[in-house]
Amino acid sequence: MVAAGSAMRPVERQRVRMVLSLCFAAALFEGADAVTLGLAAPSLAPVIHMRTTQLGSAISLTTLGLLIGATLGGRLSDRIGRRKVVISSMLILGLSSFATIPIASVNALFVLRFITGLGLGCLLPTLIAVASEVARKEQGTAKVGAMFCGVPLGACLLGFVAAGCDLQWQGIFAVGGVGPLLLVPVLFAFLPETIPSITRGNADGAQPRESLLAALFAQSRAGTTLLLWLAAFFTSAAIWILVGWFPSLMVARGFSRLEATHLAALENLGAAAGSVAISRCYDVGRPWVVLVVTYAAMSALLMSLVHASGFTQTAAAGTACGFFVTGGQLLLYAMIPRYYPPTARGTGVGAAVSVGRLGSISGPALVGLLLGAGFGAAAVFLAMMPGLIVAGAALTLLAVTKSRREQNPLAG
């Protein structure tokens, strides 16, 4: 048995690498689409006569689709399997991006961005669940973080392509549509199902699936769920202000459109590095220390971004801000699967992501109101700080409580 198990280990490692690579590729396109509207807005707005407040509405409608999609996708992935949800989400993402190219009105943009948000929302919690299920427990956070660095990398790559090729809005949406559609047949051929009860039809004695409320609140999970929701709300509000508004805010500060695109790309490059480094530190170090440092750094770096002057200083501050703000969000996502059993993992992750999307809706809407009232970029960045402090405190409390329970199980 030992020899057979040893012979299987290289095969299993190869399977894990393949699954994580496929999830990473899907995350690349998710990240690219997350910034398409922000990158396309400067050239799109004059064509369809879109005002600044309407851009905020378009971003909020995207995140409304993300909210609904995360709840739906997470639950469906527990019911019908992760594989079907991932492939369907990529189809929605690619087709809706292509459909945006010939639009001629703001209303059409609103509808298509909502549909795109549905696809993105279904995809996110499912990829997190898949990555956590194929990784070893002691490497779970790092593997999910490494896989999900594809999100900011995709945003970064699209930013560099848009700047280097001077793409107008049609080209940006075309790139966002081609990639997902090309990936669909690859996923269909090589992405396995990671839920045994789906693959074997419950013949293996798998636990029965829990109801929605039981999955989130049963077996002493209520406090954990509420803390995760609180952290997700405020962290997502901050990250979507950066993702959705960063290029426009940089233009408002006096940078050219090309410079703003480069700054956004550098911010996402820092985010990719942060998602890998911070999640790795979480696995090998003391989780609560990593969380305190991460969220304290978020607040400090937002202040540095407010006071930075010139392209070089702003680029350095933006890259570091991406490292901790986006990296911290991806750490949050990588943590969530640890708190739910396999039969409720998709539901738990999807619910937390959905609550985060409420923050994503509130954040960009607040930015639109601040800018419409005449406030500048400094006020926008300062408005993020109180929420980040609350989010960091919630996650730190959660990590400390979990650590104590693991050290003294009878006390839990």
Number of domains making up the chain? 1
**What pTM does this model have?**
0.78
DSSP readout, 268-296?
A: HHHHHHHHHHHHHHHHHS-HHHHHHHHHH
Of 246, 265, 275, nearest in space to 157 by CA = 265
Task: Check residue 209 and give its pLDDT.
Answer: 61
In a domain, 4, yes or no: no
The SS3 call for residue 199 is helix
397 domain-assigned:
yes
* Domain enclosing residue 393, as ranges: 12-189+212-411
> What pLDDT does residue 222 have?
86
Residue 156 lies in a domain: yes
Read off the CATH number of the domain in which 299 is found. 1.20.1250.20
Output the pLDDT for position 89: 95
Rounded-to-integer distance, Cα 407 and Cα 152, Å: 35
Query: Do the domain assignments include residue 133?
Result: yes
Whether residue 6 is contained in a domain is answered as no
Look at residue 264 and tell me if it is in a domain. Answer: yes
CB 370 within 8 A of CB 383: yes
Residue 57 lies in a domain: yes
Tokens of residue 53, six digits: 């407040």
Conformational region of residue 255, where left means phi above 0, alpha means psi within -120 to 50, and beta covers everything else: beta
Q: What is the mean pLDDT of each run of 10 residues along the chain (412 residues)?
A: 46 83 92 83 84 78 85 89 94 92 87 91 90 73 80 81 81 89 94 75 52 78 89 84 68 76 79 82 80 86 76 85 81 83 85 86 74 70 80 87 68 49
The reply to whether 3 falls in a domain is no
* 326 Cβ contact partners less than 8 Å away, ≥ 6 residues apart: 151, 152, 239, 242, 243, 267, 268, 270, 271, 274, 275
pLDDT at 94: 92
For residue 311, the number of C-alpha atoms closer than 13 Å in the C-beta half-sphere is: 12
Buried b (16+ CB within 10 A) or exposed e, 350-384: bbbbbbbbbbbbbbbbbbbebbeeeeebeebbebb
